[in-house]
């Protein structure tokens, strides 16, 4: 082969490489073409660094290579897809299950209080000469059970509030007019509650709610039983002096016991009224429509 023929062959090979869109030092190692004549792989242009461009066997550039995904930009408001609605339905079922489980735990502490009060009533009214002291001591146990139940209510209220939020903002609008009202950003409130979960109410608010729901009636029964005991046993009350004598517990005068009992009743009622007013100020008449809790 002469020098002129070799030069012409090299020029023809260079023209062929230029027509395929592959350039750079790795051009001589172009991958074999498939049956359709298209390149079977991708070859980085230039020196193959991440900042270059990517080309296919047909010379179509794919743009710059990103070292990391671009920052997420806020997307326009859209409707939920069928798959997303299905996921939300399963999420709602999970919240209902958890709220039901914690509601059962609430009923357990209430049952403890009722049973304990029943035992105290049985002991106190077992005989006319029996002391009313068990009805006084049972108040301490009932207070302990109330504190436990208020703490459990804090957890129960998290699951209850989430389920109620989806009912009022997803299922109710869906059934009413088919519009999920995503422009109201209710889904963002729910997402934030999953990102940063926490109690929706304070311990004192939970304490007051449990008093209003159950323990106020237990308190009324306990108080009426104590007053009835000192009025009828061992014989019907005849004077106020007898009232003070029968209310006395050991060295503690009856007047002190009655005053402490009134403070005991008044504090429970005061907490119940305060929590009711706090809920009314925070949530209004429709608690679950404005905010969770």
171 neighbors 96 (Cβ within 8 angstroms): no
288 neighbors 239 (Cβ within 8 angstroms): no
Q: Which portions of the chain are predicted below pLDDT 50? A: 18-75, 288
The pLDDT of residue 137: 92
Q: Whole-angstrom Cα distance, residue 121 to residue 115? A: 10
Q: Whole-angstrom Cα distance, residue 126 to residue 118? A: 12
| 3-state SS record for the chain | CCHHHHHHHHHHHHHHHHHCCCCCHHHHHCCCECCCCCECCEEECCCCCCCCEEEECCCCEEEECCCCCCCCCCCCCCCCCHHHHHHHHHHHHHHHHHHHHHHHHHHHHHHHHHHHHHHHHHHHCCCCCCCCHHHHHHHHHHHHHHHHHHHHHHHHHHHHHHHHHHHHHHHHHHHHCCCCCHHHCHHHHHHHHHHCCCCCCCHHHHHHHHHHHHHHHHHHHHHHHHHHHHHHCCCCCCCHHHHHHHHCECCECHHHHHHHHHHHHHHHHHHHHHHHHHHHHHHCCCHHHHCCC
Q: Whole-angstrom Cα distance, residue 161 to residue 290? A: 11
The pLDDT of residue 175: 87
Q: Whole-angstrom Cα distance, residue 201 to residue 147? A: 15
Domain boundaries, the chain: 82-278
The pLDDT of residue 12: 60
């Amino acid at each position: 082969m002469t020098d002129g023929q070799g030069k012409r062959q090299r020029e023809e090979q260079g023209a062929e490489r230029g027509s395929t869109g592959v350039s750079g030092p790795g051009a001589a190692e172009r991958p074999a073409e498939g049956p359709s004549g298209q390149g079977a792989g991708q070859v980085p242009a230039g020196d193959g660094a991440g900042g270059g461009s990517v080309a296919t066997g047909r010379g179509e550039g794919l743009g710059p290579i990103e070292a990391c995904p671009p920052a997420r930009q806020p997307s326009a408001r859209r409707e939920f897809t069928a798959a997303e609605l299905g996921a939300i339905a399963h999420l709602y079922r999970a919240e209902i299950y958890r709220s039901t489980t914690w509601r059962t735990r609430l009923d357990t502490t209430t049952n403890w209080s009722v049973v304990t009060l029943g035992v105290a009533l049985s002991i106190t009214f077992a005989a006319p000469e029996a002391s009313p002291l068990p009805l006084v001591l049972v108040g301490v146990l009932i207070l302990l059970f109330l504190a436990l139940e208020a703490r459990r209510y804090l957890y129960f209220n998290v699951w209850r509030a989430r389920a109620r939020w989806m009912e009022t903002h997803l299922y109710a609008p869906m059934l009413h007019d088919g519009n999920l009202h995503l422009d109201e950003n209710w889904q963002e409130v729910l997402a934030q509650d999953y990102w940063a979960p926490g109690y929706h109410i304070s311990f004192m608010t939970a304490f007051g709610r449990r008093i209003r729901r159950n323990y106020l009636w237990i308190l009324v029964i306990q108080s009426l039983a104590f007053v009835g005991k000192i009025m009828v046993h061992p014989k019907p009350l005849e004077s106020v002096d007898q009232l003070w004598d029968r209310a006395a517990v050991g060295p503690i005068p009856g007047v002190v016991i009655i005053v402490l009992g009134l403070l005991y009743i008044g504090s429970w009622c005061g907490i119940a009224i305060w929590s009711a007013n706090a809920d009314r100020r925070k949530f209004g008449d429709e608690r679950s429509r404005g905010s969770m809790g």
